[in-house]
Amino acid sequence: MNPRRAPTIWEQFKSHIIIILCIALVIPGNDLFAQNGLRNIHQERSLYRNIVVTEDSNRRCMRFTITSRSGQNQSCRFLERPVELVFPYAKMTLSSLLVQDNPQRILIVGLGGGTLPDTYSRLFPDAEIIISEIDDAVFRVAREYFGFQETDKIKVDIGDARVYIKRAGLRGEKFDLVILDAFNGEYIPEHLMTTEFLEEVKMLLPENGMVVSNTFSTSRLFAAESNTYRSVFGEIFNIRMSGTGNRVIVSSMQLLPDRATLEARAPAFQERLEQFGMDVTDYIQYMSTEVTWDSSQRLLTDQYSPANLLNN
């Protein structure tokens, strides 16, 4: 029989090491299960992007990336409460109704899952809503997986928004509300961020018209974009909340209302907006015209618009 030798490190800690390895292997896997059985129910590659529709026990979402990093969803709906808004940015957008309360003609750039058109048409059943969406496939997925429908009041124009807006301006069309919701993908359409573009949008606005843009709250782009909007519209509301990477810019043809006016308008909307899972009075505190960014950051123009580089 061999003399008894001291156990090696491996023998001593074998069971510990195995347990640690198992935990390490299971934790990343656990993540997948933590999202209540998230699964892909549709995936396709369009001309512009990958479109993925995912569903868990709670909600269905549209995503433009294959990887499931958090915060990459374009559009989500609760399965049991489809009317309620999932994302803070959609609620921030809706809170702009305190600035302009009765839009009857609405242009929305970027369809996604059709959440915003549905919400606005629920609030204003008589309003005419036109959506400019570049990607035919997004339109199809919105119809098939998110219950979006064109009606005689809601129309979708497939094409580039810059072209649509330029032509609408030439036709002398007016929109009480223009919502720019095309900036939350992996690639930012740089020609939809410039002073020249905003001037073209401005041509569509009547005296009390308003532009609401859902965009980014981080990076050098934040300051550049804020300055660009200010140069075209004057003062802007920069609605920015913690816990979301989005911010919403509200620009109006009229002077923006002060806090007291907003508070006076809120009760009329409080009940109407409750169904979307929001209390509109929560948003008033964020409606400030204060310049909190570097106002020397260069404006974005058709000559200079490196939005994607500034966003890195």
As annotated, the active-site residues are 181
Is residue 162 at the binding interface for other proteins, with CB under 8 A as the rule? yes
In a 10 Å sphere around its CB, with 0-12 CB exposed, 13-18 middle and 19+ buried, how is residue 48 labelled?
Answer: middle
- Interface residue with other proteins, options 140, 191, 240, 265 (CB under 8 A): 191
Using CB under 8 A as the binding criterion, the count of chain residues that bind other proteins stands at 24
Residue 73 forms beta bridges with which residues?
Answer: 63
Binding to other proteins, residues 14-53 (CB under 8 A)? 47-48
Give the C-alpha separation, 98 to 265, whole Å: 6
| Smallest distance, other proteins to C-beta of residue 134, A | 6
| Smallest distance, other proteins to C-beta of residue 223, A | 15
Stretch binding other proteins (CB under 8 A), from 24-32, 101-109, 162-170, 252-260: 162-170
* Comparison of 73 and 213: residue with beta carbon closer to other proteins: 213
- Interface residue with other proteins, options 190, 216, 281, 289 (CB under 8 A): 190
Give the C-alpha separation, 26 to 164, whole Å: 50
- Interface residue with other proteins, options 124, 197, 269, 283 (CB under 8 A): 197
Stretch binding other proteins (CB under 8 A), from 66-74, 139-147, 188-196, 286-294: 188-196
| Smallest distance, other proteins to C-beta of residue 305, A | 8
Encode 182-211: b = buried (16+ Cβ within 10 Å), e = exposed: bbbbeebbbbbbbbebbebbbbbbeeebbb
Read off the tokens for 213: 């843009």
In a 10 Å sphere around its CB, with 0-12 CB exposed, 13-18 middle and 19+ buried, how is residue 65 labelled?
Answer: middle
Is residue 263 at the binding interface for other proteins, with CB under 8 A as the rule? no
Is residue 195 at the binding interface for other proteins, with CB under 8 A as the rule? no
Strand runs labelled E in 170-259:
177-180, 210-216, 237-240, 246-252
Strands 246-252 and 210-216: what pairing? antiparallel
Binding to other proteins, residues 123-142 (CB under 8 A)? 134
Give the C-alpha separation, 67 to 76, whole Å: 16
* Comparison of 8 and 303: residue with beta carbon closer to other proteins: 303
Is residue 174 at the binding interface for other proteins, with CB under 8 A as the rule? no
* Comparison of 56 and 196: residue with beta carbon closer to other proteins: 196
Is residue 88 at the binding interface for other proteins, with CB under 8 A as the rule? no
In a 10 Å sphere around its CB, with 0-12 CB exposed, 13-18 middle and 19+ buried, how is residue 27 labelled?
Answer: exposed
Residue 92 forms beta bridges with which residues?
Answer: none
Where along the sequence are the contacts to other proteins (CB under 8 A)? 47-48, 134, 159-163, 166, 170, 189-191, 194, 196-197, 301-306, 309-310
